[in-house]
Structure 1
Amino acid sequence: MDTKFSMALHILVYMEETTHVVTSELLAKSVGTNASHIRKIIVLLKDAGIIESRQGKKGMMLKIKACELTLDKVYFAVYPEKELLHVHDTVNQDCPVGASIKEALLPIFEESEKQLILNLQKKTLKALIEDMYKIYNDKNR
Structure 2
Amino acid sequence: MPINMNALGAETPWAQVTVTQRQIDQLCSCLEDYNPLFLDDEIAATSSAAGIVAPPTFINCFRDFKTTLVLSEAEVDLPLLLHGEQVIEYFAPVRPGQTIWHKIKIVDVGRKKSRTYGELDFFTVLIKLKSENGERLVEATQLFFVRDN
TM-score (norm 2): 0.21
Structure having the higher helix fraction is: 1
Q: Which has the greater radius of gyration?
A: 1
TM-score (norm 1): 0.21
Structure having the higher strand fraction is: 2
Higher relative contact order (CA 8 A, sep 6+): 2
